[in-house]
Structure 1
Amino acid sequence: MVSFIDLIRNENMKLYKRTGTWVMIGLIILAMSGVGLFTKFVLDSDAHINWKEELKTENMQLESALKDTEQMGVGNDYVEQQLAINHYRLENDYPPVHSESLWGFMIDVTNLTGFVALFTIVVAAGIVANEFSWGTIKLLLIRPVSRSKILLSKFITTILFAIGMIILLFSLSFIFGSLLFGVSGVEQPHLVYQDGQVVEQNMITYIISLYGFNSIDLFMMLTLAFMISTVFRSSSLAIGISLFLMFTGPQLVQLLSNYEWVKYILFANTNLQQYTNGTPIVEGMTMTFSISMIMIYFIIFVALSWVIFEKRDVTA
C-alpha cells in the first residue's frame, strides 16, 4: 500500500531529477551573487559615512514638507513618523541601514522573491499538466491511492519547493552578506513607529517578516497556476496567465483604485504591508478584510482543482 508520505517523496524525486529544477536554483543563486558583487564593487556609495549630516538635511526637508501640509490643513503621518525615527537615530547613534552592509544586503535580497515566484509558477504549472501531456497520468491513477491524495501530494510538493527556495535565499543571503560586507553593525535594530513612539525590533525578525509579506503573493500565484494547470491540462496556459496577472494585477488595481469594488480583487489584498507602513488602496480596508479575501480566493482555487480532477475522465 502506497502511503501519502511515499507519494510526496516520489513527487519530490521527479521534481529534483529534472535539469530545469536545478537550473532555476542556480539562477536564484547567480542573481543573488550578482546583487552582492554589484553592491560591493560597483555601487561604491559613501553616503553612509556622513550619515548624520545626511540625516539632518533630510530632517530639514521633512520639516518643511510637514509645515506645508499643516498649512493646507492636511496631516502627513508618514512624514511625522519618519522624522521621529530620524531623531531617534541621531540621539542613539543608530545609522540608517545601507546596502553595503549585511542587513542592507539581506533586505535588498528579499526583492528576489519575485524570481522565486516566477520559478514556482513554472513548477506549479507543469506538475499536473505534464502528467497529461506525457501520458503518465494513467499510470499514476491506477495506483491504489485516491485521486485527492495524488493531487494533494503534488500541491504540497510545489509548496515545499517554494518554501525551500525562500529558505535557500535567506540562508545564502546571510552567508554572502557576511563574506562580502562583514558582520559589523550586526547588533543594529530595526526601528518602527508604534503607538506614538519609536520602538526597536530585532533585525532578523524584521527581515523574516519581509519574506513573509512577499510570500503571500507567491503562494497565491502558485495556487492559481496549479488550479489552471489542473483544470485546463496546459502548462503553457497556466504559466502565461499566472505571469500576466502577477505583473499586471497590481497595476490594474492601482488604475481602478477610485472604485469601491476594487477591494474585492485578489491583488488589492495580497500586499499586507499596506497596513504596516502605508495606506490601504481603498479607504476603510483592514488587514482582517484582506486576509479574509485571500482565504476566499485560496479556497476557490483549491476547490476548483480538486472537484475537476476528481471528476475528470482520463480513460480515453
Structure 2
Amino acid sequence: MIDLMKNEWIKAWYGRKVWVFLIVLAACTILGTVVGVMMKNYADAYIDLLFFETVFPIFAGFVSLYAVILVSGALAKEFSSGTIKQLFIRPVSRTRILLSKWISIMLLSFLLLLGAGFVLFLVEMLFFTENTTWMIGFKTMWSMVLHHTPTLLFYIALATLIGVWMRSTALTIVVAFIPMFFKGILMVLLMQYDWSKWIVFMHFELYNSYEKPVDLIFSSDLFDSVWHSAAYIGAHILILLLISHLIFKKRDVL
C-alpha cells in the first residue's frame, strides 16, 4: 500500500504538475496580498482576520478544483490511456489500488489546503492584523481548514465515482465541477424549505453555517451541530466510495 501511494505521489508531482499548481497559488497569494495592502492603505482601516476569512475560501475552492483534476488523472486518464494495466498485472487487489489512489489524493489535497491556509495566516498576521494575537489567528486558520475538509473529501469521492464509471477525463472534471459552481444558487433557492437540510450540498458551507451564521445568507437551519453535518457528509462520502469500489472491481480495462 505504501509503495502504491508513493507511486501516486510521484505521478502527481511529475505527471499532473503539482509544482505548477503551487506556483499558481503563490502568484495568487502575492496578488491578493498586494490588493489587500492597497485597499487597507486606501481605507486607512482593516478589520482583523477579514483578509484571511475572505481569501481562504477562494483558495479552498482552487484546491477542490485541483483535487478533481488529480482524481481524473489518476483514474479516468489511466483508464483511457491504458496505463492502469500496469497496476492490474501486479499481485495487488483492485481494492488496494483504488484505496491507495484515493488516500494519496486525499492526503495531498489536504496538505495543499493546510499549506494554503498557513501561508494566508502568515500574510494576515504580518500585514493586516493589529489587535488579533497569533494564537487566535492560528485557531481561526485551523478551524477554517477543518471546516472545509469534509467538502474537499466529498468532491474527491464524487470525482472518484465519476472517474471509474465514465473513464473520461473531460466528463469527470465537468460533472464534478457542476456542484461546485451551482451549489451557491441551490442553497439560496432551497434554504427556505425545511427539507433542504437533507440535501448534502446544503452542508458544504460548514464554517459559515456554524461558526459565523450571521455573516452570510447560507446560514440556514441545518443540524444541531457541525459534527452532525460533517458526519452526514461523511456518510455520503462512504456511499460514493463504496459504489466506486464495486464499479472498479468489475470494470473491464479494455
TM-score per shorter chain, which class?
Answer: 0.7 to 0.9
| Matched letter for residue 134 of structure 1 | S
- Per the alignment, residue 224 of structure 2 pairs with 286
Gap change, CA 1:205 and 1:251, over 3 Å in 2 = same
Q: What is the correspondence of 1:40-119 to structure 2 with a 5 Å cutoff?
A: 40-41=37-38, 43-48=40-45, 96-97=47-48, 103-111=49-57, 112-119=59-66
Gap change, CA 1:252 and 1:186, over 3 Å in 2 = closer
Shift of 1:207: 1.9
**What runs of 5+ residues in structure 1 fail to find an aligned partner?**
50-95, 98-102, 190-201
Q: How far apart, in 2, do the equivalents of 1:19 and 1:215 lie?
A: 22
Gap change, CA 1:7 and 1:19, over 3 Å in 2 = closer
Two-structure CA RMSD over aligned residues (Å): 2.5
Tell me which of 133, 154, 168 is aligned to 2:101: 154
Gap change, CA 1:272 and 1:173, over 3 Å in 2 = closer
Q: Confirm or deny: 8 A CA contact 1:268 1:281 kept in the other structure.
A: no
Gap change, CA 1:182 and 1:297, over 3 Å in 2 = closer
Gap change, CA 1:275 and 1:106, over 3 Å in 2 = closer
Q: Between the two structures, name the one with larger relative contact order (CA 8 Å, sep ≥ 6).
A: 2
Question: Greater helix percent: which structure?
Answer: 2
Determine whether 1:225 maps to 2:222. Answer: no
Count of equivalent residues: 248
- For residues 187-213 of structure 1, give each alpha carbon's deviation from its aligned partner in whole angstroms, at most 9, with x where no partner exists: 377xxxxxxxxxxxx331122101221
Shift of 1:301: 0.6
- Per the alignment, residue 237 of structure 2 pairs with 298
Tell me which of 222, 227, 247 is aligned to 2:181: 247
Q: How far apart, in 2, do the equivalents of 1:203 and 1:183 lie?
A: 9
| Matched letter for residue 75 of structure 2 | V
Gap change, CA 1:156 and 1:109, over 3 Å in 2 = same
Gap change, CA 1:230 and 1:268, over 3 Å in 2 = same
Shift of 1:291: 2.9
Determine whether 1:187 maps to 2:98. Answer: no
Q: Confirm or deny: 8 A CA contact 1:231 1:304 kept in the other structure.
A: no
- Per the alignment, residue 79 of structure 2 pairs with 132
Q: Which has the larger radius of gyration?
A: 1
Large movers: runs of 4+ above 4 Å? 174-179, 182-186, 279-284
Q: How far apart, in 2, do the equivalents of 1:259 and 1:182 lie?
A: 39
Shift of 1:175: 4.5
Q: How far apart, in 2, do the equivalents of 1:276 and 1:246 lie?
A: 21
Q: How far apart, in 1, do the equivalents of 2:219 and 2:122 lie?
A: 37
Gap change, CA 1:283 and 1:164, over 3 Å in 2 = closer
- For residues 79-121 of structure 1, give each alpha carbon's deviation from its aligned partner in whole angstroms, at most 9, with x where no partner exists: xxxxxxxxxxxxxxxxx41xxxxx4444443122111111111
Q: Confirm or deny: 8 A CA contact 1:128 1:233 kept in the other structure.
A: yes
Gap change, CA 1:39 and 1:127, over 3 Å in 2 = same
